[in-house]
Structure 1
Amino acid sequence: MPIGAEAAVARDRSAAETRQDAAFRTMLFAAAALVLIVLGAAALSMLWGGRLAFQTFGWRFIVSDDWDAVGRHFGAFVPIYGTLATSAIAMIIAIPVSFGIALFLTEIAPGWLQAPIAAAIELLAGIPSIIYGMWGLFSFVPFMSDHVLPWVDRHLGALPWIGALFRGPPLGIGMLTAGIVLGIMVIPFISSVMRDVFRTVPASLKESAYALGSTTWEVVWKVVLPYTRSAVVGGIFLGLGRALGETMAVTFVLGNAHQLSASLLAPGNSIAATIANEFTEADSDIYLSSLIALGFLLFVVTLIVLAIARLMLRNLARREGR
């Protein structure tokens, strides 16, 4: 083939590859833009749907604990407080348990035991949330009411400063029970992330630490956790995001009461539970708008949590010199 013909073929091939590369980049950009468009459209639609509530009540909608469907006075403070309180209880329970499960599977458990436990964790992660809610209502609530909450009220309720958190009638349903059920539900997600992250630690680092005489605890604390700190924080916030938006598991055991109480034993409400329970009962524009506004507030709370997670991960990466 003449040299000129070879050059023409090469130019044509280069032009075709350039067009293919441009088309591929355009597809990737469109996929990324679609995520932002859907996210923005969801936020704007909820904001638009809740505009009547925000215009009518203003900032009082966020700070007021009044929720009167008959008098058409609505405030989001009780659902916001219930959402944050149950999620906090869930994370207090889920984080240490998930750490223990992940570290046991990666550092201590023999090979023949790792697979069954990992399969059980994945099975728990796949159980629908309504099953957790039904189990909580029919099995866990009676157990809490008969055996746990009376002891909590009698012993922890008498403590100074924090006694008010654990004082109240042992109804079984309430924020403490909902938080525990929610914690059990998010444990599989957090522990799975932590297990996969801990497995990324090079074996040479751990073997070197053991060779220097380090104990298992020292290897975990001084080698495994520093190496995986950023990813562990990301997994924790992933579980927190799941807890904030959970609906059915919380709805069954929270009590669905629009009342503000310092006691964790008292019934309460959450944003997701309020929307699920009352959306079909909204018989006025302001009622419906208030429920949609609650959805927008849940969106904002989740966005703030994820933003905090990103900032923490960035700071951790900066400290690690990445």
Structure 2
Amino acid sequence: MSEIRDAGGSTTTVIVADEVSASQPLVPRPLTQRPPRADKVFRSVAYAAGGVTVAIMLAVGLFLSLRAFSAMQVAGFGFLTEQQWSPETGEFGIAAVLFGTISIAVIAMCVSVPLALGTSLLISEVLRGRLKQWSITLVDLMAAVPSVVFGLWGVFFLQESIIPVSRWISTYFGWIPFFAVTDQSGAHLTDASAFTSSAFIAGIVVGLMVVPTQTSIMREAFMQAPPGEREAAYALGSTRWGMITAVVLPFGRGGIIGGTMLGLGRALGETIAVYMIISPIFTINWQVLKTGSNSVSALIALRYGEASEFALSALMAAGLVLFLMTLVINFTASSIVARSRSGAESEA
């Protein structure tokens, strides 16, 4: 503090900045702010929803593990390699059932992925106006059709129509072991009864069931492609197909992978439609066009009503294997999608 005397004799007290700093040190103003109450509520609800979802998944896994413990203790590792299903005699396993589940799911993906990819590109890149909106509505409504309706359609309509196709594939591509239809002696079969209730027919029906789900995910990913990159591709002289391959498909790669994996998870767990179409067997059938197949979900639906306590434990063990397999597929899909975010590799 210092005093300054002016010409009139009056004095003025001046406070020097250094003295102010010494007496009252400056404190930086905090940059953080308290979130509003609405944000706090939303965050709490989001954390609670995520926690409940994880808790339910863990509870399902724990329940299946506890109920399957007695059967797994008897079967051991042979549960994954045995092709019989006779829990009463202690000889049971899901090798054939697991093979049938995977084969039906693979056939379903071979049918659904091209259809879903083409339909999503048609809706997002070609159709306009009301026709586009109607197409979106129709595809979404397909996902609401019950599984039993698809099963009835597959049994009474598709099976009769697909038998000539199966016979043609077996005739001209029978040199491939998967497409051959033979009896025990190795002779080729041509009767219509040899091609009914096969994994091929079940896979086609399941593939058509998962098309709407895959199409919706892929379509939303494609429609988020930046308009600037689309216009830049056209400005450089690209055709519509060139723009799609250079901009839309790389941008929607995460949606393609996510939709495919989600459809795969649905195909692995489909029950009613597969149960109505296939002719259940408990031996590995490498010939997908031939009558006879099985799946884990269909096995549970078939044997649940008449199962004893131990047989029910064996069914729970089969459900546990399917549960773990679905989890592995979903986690793998999540990691792949996280590494290929939409738009990260666009070339336009």
Give the TM-score normalised by structure 1. 0.87
Q: Secondary structure at the match of 1:101?
A: helix
- Work out the CA distance in 2 between the residues paired with 1:20 and 1:105: 38
Where structure 1 has 5 or more consecutive residues not aligned to the other structure, the ranges are 1-13
Aligned position for 1:7:
none
Aligned position for 2:173:
156
Worse-matched range after superposition: 135-144 or 308-317: 308-317
The number of equivalent residue pairs is 302
Worse-matched range after superposition: 232-241 or 130-139: 232-241
Worse-matched range after superposition: 307-316 or 297-306: 307-316
The share of aligned pairs that are identical, in percent, is: 32
The reply on whether 1:165 has 2:179 as its aligned counterpart is yes
Pairwise CA RMSD of aligned residues?
2.3
| Structure 1 residues 41 and 123, CA gap change in structure 2 (3 angstroms) | same
| Structure 1 residues 148 and 225, CA gap change in structure 2 (3 angstroms) | same
Q: Secondary structure at the match of 2:289?
A: coil
- Work out the CA distance in 1 between the residues paired with 2:302 and 2:101: 15
Question: Aligned-pair distance for 1:235?
Answer: 1.5
Letter paired with 2:335: L
- Work out the CA distance in 1 between the residues paired with 2:154 and 2:45: 46
Question: Aligned-pair distance for 1:270?
Answer: 0.3
Aligned position for 1:216:
240
Larger radius of gyration: 2
Residues 18-63 of structure 1, C-alpha deviation per residue, up to 9 Å, x if partnerless? Answer: 8887666444433222111111111000011011111001110012
The reply on whether 1:305 has 2:329 as its aligned counterpart is yes
- Work out the CA distance in 2 between the residues paired with 1:34 and 1:105: 36
The reply on whether 1:271 has 2:271 as its aligned counterpart is no
| Structure 1 residues 148 and 70, CA gap change in structure 2 (3 angstroms) | farther
Aligned position for 1:54:
72
The reply on whether 1:35 has 2:53 as its aligned counterpart is yes
- Work out the CA distance in 2 between the residues paired with 1:236 and 1:174: 23
| Structure 1 residues 217 and 274, CA gap change in structure 2 (3 angstroms) | same
Letter paired with 2:135: I
Question: Aligned-pair distance for 1:124?
Answer: 1.1
The reply on whether 1:287 has 2:311 as its aligned counterpart is yes
- Work out the CA distance in 2 between the residues paired with 1:76 and 1:151: 31
| Structure 1 residues 207 and 312, CA gap change in structure 2 (3 angstroms) | same
Question: Aligned-pair distance for 1:305?
Answer: 0.3
The reply on whether 1:67 has 2:67 as its aligned counterpart is no
- Work out the CA distance in 2 between the residues paired with 1:225 and 1:128: 31
Worse-matched range after superposition: 167-176 or 179-188: 167-176
Residues 56-102 of structure 1, C-alpha deviation per residue, up to 9 Å, x if partnerless? Answer: 01110012112125534210111211111111111111111111111
The 8 Å contact of residues 94 and 183 in structure 1, kept in 2 or not, is answered as yes
Worse-matched range after superposition: 234-243 or 289-298: 234-243
Q: Secondary structure at the match of 2:89?
A: coil
- Larger helix percent: 1
- Work out the CA distance in 1 between the residues paired with 2:128 and 2:49: 43
Where structure 2 has 5 or more consecutive residues not aligned to the other structure, the ranges are 1-32, 183-188
